[in-house]
A = this chain, B = another copy of it.
Amino acid sequence: MMHSTATPDLRLVLVEPSHPGNIGAAARAMRTMGLRQLVLVNPHAFPHAEASAMAAGADDVLAAARVCARLDEAIGDCRFVLGCSARRRHVPLTEHSPREAASALWTHATHGPAALLFGRERTGLTNDELMHCNGSVFIPSDPEFSSLNLAASVQVLSYELRLRQLGAPVQAGPATAPERDEPPATHAQMEGLFGHFDQTLHDIDFHKGRAPDTVMQRLRRLLLRAEPDQREVRVLRGILSDAQRMARLARAAGAVATPNPGPADPAD
């Protein structure tokens, strides 16, 4: 099997790590498996002597680590994002095994930036953070004792990524799309689409009497699953703009009440 010789653009993102020692241990785990791009979202303490001590020589990874205040800064330019989830949650994301995840990440990362997220030591990733991902990764630990620590999780995933890098024969996941003429949408573009969707559903009174968050979660799930390309996002946003235009015209003509919740709607 042929594998691209280009260096894949793959980053590992630690979200709000509490213990600097874990940052160092994660850097070491990555480095042993040939990975170098580490991003830290709002770390409790970094740089820190304990991180350097635990890195045990992987100082170059620590020195090059990017620190972001918020998750969307860390993954805004990414076209494919997976989130490590300590246990199965009631988040209906496609769940990958570490092996499948490594394969999907590596494949996507040869075409543009991709990211693998690791959550907080005690509480993992929030459901909201997972909803920003194209899928989740579950390390099949013993359910009776699933106390996999952060560095151990990074080690297991880095190991699988290493095997993938070395060309271990693995089936690509179903999400790995065929060659496309358009690049996949970035995370920031998808967030822009979701924001536009939310506003439009407000404007056309779809949110009225419903739970907007639930609706938006459904739409997120649906569209992230589809992994739209950039042109598809443009088409969808064009449709939303035209729907908003109709709502604006109807309102300007007095045919619809202003969309603020509260006052009774005379048009109804």
The reply on A28 being an interface residue by CB < 8 A is yes
- A250 surroundings in chain B (CB, below 8 A): 246-247, 249-250, 253, 255
Contact B256 A254, beta carbon cutoff 8 Å:
no
- A173 surroundings in chain B (CB, below 8 A): 100, 171-172, 174-175
Which stretch, A69-77, A109-117, A217-225, touches the partner chain B?
A217-225
A147 with B32, Cβ < 8 A, contacts A96-B176, A174-B171, A232-B218 known: yes
Name the one of B92, B144, B174, B242 contacting A175, with C-beta atoms under 8 angstroms.
B174
**Chain B residue nearest in CB terms to A160:** B159
The reply on A34 being an interface residue by CB < 8 A is yes
A223 CA to B256 CA in the complex, in Å?
Answer: 31
The reply on A169 being an interface residue by CB < 8 A is yes
**Chain B residue nearest in CB terms to A234:** B218
Copies of this protein in the assembly total: 2
The reply on A215 being an interface residue by CB < 8 A is yes
Name the one of B172, B178, B243 contacting A170, with C-beta atoms under 8 angstroms.
B172
A103 CA to B238 CA in the complex, in Å?
Answer: 37
- A122 surroundings in chain B (CB, below 8 A): none
Chain B proximity of A175: nearest CB distance (Å): 4
Contact B168 A170, beta carbon cutoff 8 Å:
no
Contacts of A208-265 to chain B: CB distance below 8 A: 215, 218-219, 222-223, 225-228, 231-232, 235, 238-239, 242-243, 245-247, 249-250, 252-256
Contact B58 A145, beta carbon cutoff 8 Å:
yes
Contact B178 A242, beta carbon cutoff 8 Å:
no
Chain B proximity of A263: nearest CB distance (Å): 18
The reply on A152 being an interface residue by CB < 8 A is yes
Contact A94 B178, beta carbon cutoff 8 Å:
yes
Q: Footprint of B on A, CB under 8 Å?
A: 28-29, 31-34, 56-58, 91-100, 103-104, 135, 139-142, 144-149, 151-152, 155-156, 159, 162-163, 166, 168-180, 201, 203-206, 215, 218-219, 222-223, 225-228, 231-232, 235, 238-239, 242-243, 245-247, 249-250, 252-256, 267
**Further pairs besides A31-B145, A253-B254: 7, Cβ < 8 Å:** A32-B147, A56-B149, A92-B178, A94-B178, A99-B168, A171-B172, A204-B239
